[in-house]
């Protein structure tokens, strides 16, 4: 039996900055990690965001979109798309990987 949409406002979870802190089903994360090999910023960000921003703003926007997709998945929404969710996770993890060397302090 499909779950009904909640009749109260649901706040999106705060997007975390640490990719390891994502708590998502293993299958979604495994699919995203495999997809990172074929990630191309210019193609994929243009498709997902409509433009190709710098890595930090891209990661922030992708985190918001992914959090909304996660809410839709958990609510059992018929609008949730597993393909789009995996695409968002691929882009989010890839953008965070680009940012990781920039965020490390110099020795």
Q: Which two tokens stand for residue 88?
A: 């968002």
DSSP string, 38-49: G--HHHHHHHHH
Whether the per-residue pLDDT at 6 is higher than 70: the answer is no
Mean pLDDT value of segment 77-103: 94
The predicted model scores a pTM of: 0.77
Whether the per-residue pLDDT at 44 is higher than 50: the answer is yes
pLDDT attached to residue 20: 55
Mean pLDDT value of segment 14-20: 47
Residue 16 pLDDT level (bands cut at 50, 70, 90)? very low
Distance CA 101, CA 71 (A): 30
Task: Return the higher-pLDDT residue of 20 and 92.
Answer: 92
Q: Where along the chain do its domains lie?
A: 25-102
Per DSSP, the three-state class of 98 is helix
């Amino acid at each position: 039996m499909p779950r009904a949409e909640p009749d109260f406002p649901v706040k999106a979870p705060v997007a975390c900055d640490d990719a390891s802190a994502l708590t998502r089903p293993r299958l979604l994360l495994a699919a995203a990690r495999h997809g990172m090999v074929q990630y191309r910023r210019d193609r994929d960000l243009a498709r997902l965001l409509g433009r190709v921003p710098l890595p930090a703003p891209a990661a922030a926007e992708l985190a918001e979109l992914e959090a909304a997709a996660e809410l839709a998945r958990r609510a059992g929404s018929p609008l949730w798309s597993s393909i789009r969710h995996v695409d968002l996770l691929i882009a989010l993890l890839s953008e965070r990987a680009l940012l990781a060397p920039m965020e490390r302090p110099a020795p």
